[in-house]
Every structure is written in structure tokens, then in C-alpha cells.
Structure 1
Amino acid sequence: MLSFLSLCAPIFAIIGLGWAAARFRMVQPAMVDAVGTFSFHFALPALLLRLMGSQPLGHSFEPVFFAGYLAVCLSIFFATMLLALPWRRRGPAAALGAAAAMGNVGYLGPPLLLPLLGERGAGPIAMAIMSEVAVVLALGSLLMAPAMPGAGLRAMGRALRALLVNPVLLAIAGGALLGAAAIPLPGPVDRFLGFLGGAAGPTALFALGGTLGRLAVSRKLLAVAGGLSLAKLALYPLLVWLLLGVMLQRDGFWVQAGVMLAAMPTASNAFIMAQRNMAAAEEVSATVLLSTLLAAACFPLTAWLVTGPLAVP
């Protein structure tokens, strides 16, 4: 357990550094946004393209894992939404569902999983991004849109167009093609991608912390944020472990990867989507902050459990 804490502590410390820098106005919001843009548009795509392109597609992509992980993701999304519907309209209920189902797999996945699982961990990270970002983002945009004729379809159309030019998804597709064709990257290109991708972790974590520095958890929202954080950090990983490990009997590598990815805190993208659609933005904002704070302790515990007491052979 202590080894997992020592591994995760520096990663969450960088998030804390970004939070403090934004909270005490050592950096301006525009600077945090610029760091996040660099990480999302350049560093993270370079990292995923290089790692996925350097290994056979069958080594990094597992259809059963993808189907199982996506099934749990959608189950969490719709179950949370249905539970909220008696008290909320469709849009806010969908926003709460997204908060429980969308993890920060893009920013936190590489720095947390790659040291634990090695370069092969890029495959599960890519499949989790496709599940939680591509699928839930499109569904959330459709369901959160105002109840006006055609509004949902227009929102989903905008989301799908954004996904088609999403640099992370394009890098995943490019890496998968290189891996499938077994085309090695030329030495200078590999070194360039490695150097650029090396900046993905620190810049993403600092930008995440800076974004959290603008958010707050009010006492009146604590119960909602706590319930959603519990679903995201505990129920989601438990269901992934049950489905992939107990029911589908996947190899230990895939179970560990799936559970740890499911244990990621709520993504800031869920807040941006809720804010854009004016759907439970305050509740989702509080969940992003609270789940990230709790994940500093919960993620090492989950990683220890899934690689020790609850490990699948």
C-alpha cells in the first residue's frame, strides 16, 4: 500500500501545485488554459501515437475489454440519470450521469497507469478515452440540450464534429493503424514524439490543478457531490472488476487496467459540458473537485486492492 502511495503522491502533488498557483493567483487563468491546450493538442497525442504505434494492435486492443468497460460506463451513466430524474429535468439529470461516468482518463491515465502497467497500458487508456469521452460526450450533448425541436440533434452533431477533429482520438486512430500495419516509426520521428510526449504528464496535471483552483464545493452541494464521487470512485471500479474479472474472466492485466481507469476522478470535461448546456453545472463542478481530492487517497487503495487482495490470476 505504501508503495502505491509513494508512486501516486508526486502525481497528485503536481495537481496541488497547479491548484495553489491558480488559487493564489500566481498564474492567470489564460496561462492555465494555454498549458492545458498544449497538453491536449500536442503532448498527449504524441504520447499515445508513439506508444500505440510501437506495439502490435492485438497487444494493445482487446475487444472484450472494450465492450465490457463501455457497458459499465453506460450503465453508470444511465443508472445515475434515472435516479436523478424524479428530482431533475432531463438535462441536469444527464449532467449528473456524465459526472458519474466520465473520468479524467486522458490527463490522469498516462501518469498513473504507465508506471504501474508499462507501455502496454496505452491500449486500455485509449479504450477508456473512447468509452468515456467519445461515447458519453455524444450522449451527454444529446440529452443535456434544451427541450426544443431539433436542439438535441444539433448538439449531438456539434459533439460528433468535435470528436472527428479531436487530436487525442486522431492520435489513437493513427497509433492503431501503425500498430496494425507493423510500420516502425523512423528514429527521428520516434525521438520527437517521445520528447514531446514526455511533457504530457506534468502539463496535464498542472492544468488540471489550475482548473480545480477555480472550482469550489459549497455545503449545500456536498451531499450530491459526495454521492456522485462515491459512484465514480467506488461503484464504477467495483462493477468493472465484477464484469471483467469475475464474469468475463479476463487476464489480470486487463482487469487491473480497467479497474484503475474506472477509479479516475470526474473529468473537467463533464463540467464544461454541463456549463455549456446550463445543466447542473454547480453540482458537476463540486463533483470534479471533491472526487479529485478523494482520489488522492482512493486511487492508491484501489490500485493496491486490484493488484493484491483482489488480484485476478
Structure 2
Amino acid sequence: MLVLPLQGPAKRVGRDGARQGGYARRVIAFLAICLPIFAVIGVGFAAARFRLIQPAMIDAVGAFSFLFALPALLLRLMAAQPLGRSFEAGFFFGYLGACLTVFGAVMLAALPFRRRGPAAAIGAAAAMGNVGYLGPPLLLPLLGERGAGPIAMSIMSEVAVVLALGSVLMAPAVPGAGLRNGLRALRSVALNPVLLSIAGGALLGAAGVPLPGPIERFLGFLGAAAGPTALFALGGTLARLKIDQRLLAAAGGAVAAKLAAYPLLVWVVLGTVLRLEPFWVQSGVLLAAMPTATNAFVMAQRNQAAEDEVSAVVLFSTLIAAVAFPATAWLMAPPVAVP
């Protein structure tokens, strides 16, 4: 009789111990995926900061990733899936709506203190995540190859739409400047190799046309270089940004919007409003939690609109995301394969 009362607590202790052991393994799995990726950014940062490589070499590595490796990766992954598996209309429009909401809200909050161009630059910094460079190496290990679909749709939202809209709004107050910027942005979008590879892969997936074996292996071999080269180039680019302490406060609001408000809004829209399945909610939140893309700085610099503040947002959001992204992944608990 004395044994019976002890069996319940013993079983509970066993279950609690197993649960805690599972949590520990899951935490280790998250860290094993995320930290090495941010470490590659650190290697690129250190290489540029200590002048182990020249700026032209960093640009060349980034160009290789953008023009060749990343398009090869996305083309292969998109072509391998039926379009209905990689594309979800509710996800695309829900994610795009959240993206434009963050862009507009941050821009409006900045307007009383800045002109339209700089305010639009800060809004773009809060809405443009580094989904192209960081999305594949971070999401594919967490969610599998099906994650290529959400990555593609987030690139279409944050690059194609925000890039074009931001370019128009950042244009100087000169008649025709906004139109010229808009046409230039549309041309850039139309010729963007990443977007073209997404479109080509989606068409192949919709048609059910498999890639020939040699081509599939070629794209797989080339695409495997996308993650390391993109991350190394990102670190080298961050090392060239000039930041001082006064920019920390100026960038704080946009960083908070990018890493906290944006993922939370995506979670509400996709999970509570649209009630999409957990895979799409997890994917959207993790993509929204990516740090600000260096493209936002390039766009601000080209239009001479708050480039110092945007560079601070890019740098600080990337540094904070090294901790914030694993924490977000832990909260969302995507199906990580734990041995």
C-alpha cells in the first residue's frame, strides 16, 4: 500500500525528466543550427574589419552568391515541389499585409521628425528582412525543403514590393524623380536573378516537369555555396558600416519594430486572423524575425535618405538577431529533427 502513492510521483518525475530532456535537446538543436550561421557572419565581419581581405573581394563573394548560388538553390527547391505545396495565397497576402503595415507605421511615426524620404528609408529598414541571405540557411534545416515556398513568397513581398515602393517614396521632391525611381526599381525587380529563379522554379513545379539529373545535380552543387558565401559577404558588408553611439537611440525604434513587432504581427495575422496551419505560421514568424537586409542600406544610400540611421538598423538588428532568432524559433517550436 505504501508503494502506490509513490508510483504516481515517480511516474510524474519520469515524465518531467523526459520532458526536460526533450526541451534540452531541442534547445541544443536550435543552437546547433543558428549559432554556426551567425558565426560565419562574424568570420566575414572579422576578415573585413582586420583587413584580411579587400572590400572588392567581399563584393565579389556577395555578387557570386546573389547572381549564381542563391538562384540555383531556389530554382532547384521550387522546381522539386508542386506549386500547391510551395505556394499558399493566404500566407502570401497575409505576410505582405503585415510587411506593408510595419513599413507604413514606422514611416508615419518618423514623419513628424524627418522628411518623407528619410522617414520612408527607416520604414523600409523595419520591413525589409534579410530573407534572401539568411532565409535558406536558417529555415531549411528547421522546416525542411518545403520551407523554400515561404522563403520565396517573403522575398517577393519584402524585395519586390517594398523595394519598388520605398524607391518611389525616397525620391527627392523633384518633379518626375519619384517616377524615375519607380521605373528604375521595377527594372531592377524584373531583372533580379533571385526573383527570376523563383518564377522559373514555380513554373516547373506547376507543370510537373522534373529537372534532368545532371542539371539537378549541377544546381544542387552550385546552390550549396549560397549559404556560406552570402553570410560571409553579409559580415564583410556590416564591417564597413560606420556607426556611432548617437545612432543607437535613433535606430532603436526601427530595430524593435523589425525584431519584435513584425514577427508578432505576422503571428496574429497568419495564426489568429487567417488561421493557417502551423507550418505557415511558423515559417512566417521566423522569416519576419530576420534582421534588416543590407539592401535597405543600399537603397537609402542611393537616395541619400537617412543612410546613417539605416546602417545602424542593419548592424544592430543583425547583432541582436544572433540571440533573438534562436529565441523566436524556440517559442515557435518548429519541427526540428532532434537525434
> Residue type of the partner of 1:73?
C
Residue in structure 2 matched with residue 10 of structure 1 by the alignment: 36
Q: Which segments of structure 1 move beyond 3 Å, counting only runs of 4 or more?
A: none
Residue in structure 2 matched with residue 32 of structure 1 by the alignment: 58
User: Paired residue for 1:279, among 302, 305, 318?
Assistant: 305
Decide whether the 8 Å contact of 1:216 with 1:289 is kept in 2. no
Residue in structure 2 matched with residue 266 of structure 1 by the alignment: 292
Deviation readout 1:267-305 (Å, 9 max, x if unpaired): 000000000000000000011000000000000000110
Separation (CA, whole Å) in 2 of partners of 1:4 and 1:227 = 27
1:302 aligns to 2:328 (yes or no): yes
User: Paired residue for 1:72, among 92, 98, 101?
Assistant: 98
Residue in structure 2 matched with residue 132 of structure 1 by the alignment: 158
Residue in structure 2 matched with residue 311 of structure 1 by the alignment: none
**Pairs within 5 Å for 1:148-227:** 148-227=174-253
Q: Who wins on radius of gyration, i.e. which is larger?
A: 2
Q: TM-score, normalised by structure 2?
A: 0.90
Residue in structure 1 matched with residue 148 of structure 2 by the alignment: 122
% identical aligned pairs: 74
Decide whether the 8 Å contact of 1:233 with 1:262 is kept in 2. yes
Deviates more, 1:263-272 or 1:1-10: 1-10
1:107 aligns to 2:133 (yes or no): yes
How far has the Cα of 1:306 moved from its partner? 0.9
Residue in structure 1 matched with residue 3 of structure 2 by the alignment: none
Residue in structure 2 matched with residue 52 of structure 1 by the alignment: 78
**Uncovered stretches (5+) of structure 1, i.e. residues with no partner:** 309-313
Residue in structure 2 matched with residue 87 of structure 1 by the alignment: 113
Decide whether the 8 Å contact of 1:226 with 1:287 is kept in 2. yes
**Uncovered stretches (5+) of structure 2, i.e. residues with no partner:** 1-26, 335-339
Deviation readout 1:169-210 (Å, 9 max, x if unpaired): 000000000000000000000000000000000000000000
Equivalenced residue count is: 308
How far has the Cα of 1:225 moved from its partner? 1.5
Deviation readout 1:51-105 (Å, 9 max, x if unpaired): 0000100000000000000000000000000000000000000000000000000
User: Paired residue for 1:238, among 237, 241, 264?
Assistant: 264
How far has the Cα of 1:6 moved from its partner? 2.2
Taking only aligned residues, the RMSD between alpha carbons, in angstroms, comes to: 0.7
Separation (CA, whole Å) in 2 of partners of 1:43 and 1:7 = 20
Residue in structure 2 matched with residue 41 of structure 1 by the alignment: 67
Q: TM-score, normalised by structure 1?
A: 0.97
Separation (CA, whole Å) in 2 of partners of 1:3 and 1:227 = 31
How far has the Cα of 1:2 moved from its partner? 3.4
Residue in structure 1 matched with residue 7 of structure 2 by the alignment: none
